[in-house]
Structure 1
Amino acid sequence: MIRMIPLAACLAALPLLAMAEGQTHRVAIHVDQNDPQVMTMALNNAENVAAHYREQGDEVVIELVAYGPGLQMLIVGQSPVEDRIETMSMVLPMTFAACGNTIKGLERKTGAPVALLEEAHVVPSGVVRLIELQEAGYAYVKP
């Protein structure tokens, strides 16, 4: 005898099947302060989130967005967390976005180009990047 499973029961099981296969979480971390403690906390947040989801069998994508005074985090020779960023970028699914508006302002002020860490990529605007990430479903974290 063939038993038919009601459609509602099949639909109710879909979230459980998705959880069994693992989910991908997306996190945007915002740094706008030239404060080593804030920068360290942002990196701690990234490591802790990655470890949490790894233990659950899920994936995570993390983007740290730095602008204003927080851009110091991504400047060669000025970042108090430069070595840690280099190490983390090799083991975490993480990218680092540097605000193009802030870079232009610094270059006008100093008359010299801003040298970013190799791990950083420039986005036109840090604030706009955070908006785009949130619109794309990223959770927002500000340490």
Structure 2
Amino acid sequence: MRILTIIAATLGLWIAATGVSHAEATYAPQKVVYHINGTGGENGAGYKPALNNISNHISAVGADNLDLRVVMHGDGLGLLQAAIDDQQLQGIIAGLKNDGVQFLVCKNTLTGRNIDPETDLFDVWPEDIVPSGVAELGKLQAEGFAYIKP
């Protein structure tokens, strides 16, 4: 029993000395894509649990240990539409982006629904727009990204 205590203490000291966080010591690097295509309900409240899942995922794995993308198409663009008038949602999205999360928007949905990303969506840049949301999901999965549908 004493030997296990010594090993655990030594491992703890090594982790502290090398700057490896608990998350990095627990999880291997991950590549993950979250798929959002559903409606968020009134004021986008239904999107907040998905964003909370993403935040929890980052907390568990570590931002430096995670390549995370959010692909939105169809009704999922409502997330960035709701954020236009919701400062709390803006803060959550901005915080996730600061952690390296990429929010990818379907060009087919923009065109089909006549949505202007510059005026109708929160914080979308040309590099955030992909030709097709579903094709992007397929591409990312072929590249080894795990698929999560919150």
Residue 94 (structure 2) aligns with: 86
* Offset from partner CA, 1:62-98 (integer Å, 9 cap, x none): 10011101111123626682331022212x1210000
2:49 corresponds to 1:46: no
User: Root-mean-square deviation (CA), in Å?
Assistant: 2.7
> Following the alignment from structure 2 to structure 1, what is the Cα–Cα distance between the partners of residues 91 and 113?
23
Letter in 2 for 1:135: A
The structure that has the greater radius of gyration is 1
TM-score of the pair, normalised by structure 2: 0.67
* Identical amino acids, percent of aligned pairs: 29
Q: In structure 2, do the counterparts of structure 1 residues 94 and 58 end up closer, same or farther at CA, with 3 Å as the change threshold?
A: closer
2:107 corresponds to 1:100: yes
TM-score of the pair, normalised by structure 1: 0.70
Deviating beyond 6 angstroms after TM superposition, the runs of 4 or more aligned structure 1 residues are none
* Offset from partner CA, 1:77-132 (integer Å, 9 cap, x none): 26682331022212x1210000100000111xxxx634332255100011011111
Alpha-carbon contact 1:65-1:96 (below 8 Å) kept: yes
Q: Which has the larger share of helix? A: 2
Q: Which has the larger share of strand? A: 1
List runs of 5+ in structure 1 lacking aligned partners: 1-18
* Offset from partner CA, 1:33-89 (integer Å, 9 cap, x none): 1213442122111111111112xx970111001110111112362668233102221
1:60-79 equivalences under 5 Å are 60-75=66-81, 77=84
Letter in 1 for 2:49: M
Residue 13 (structure 1) aligns with: none
List runs of 5+ in structure 2 lacking aligned partners: 1-23
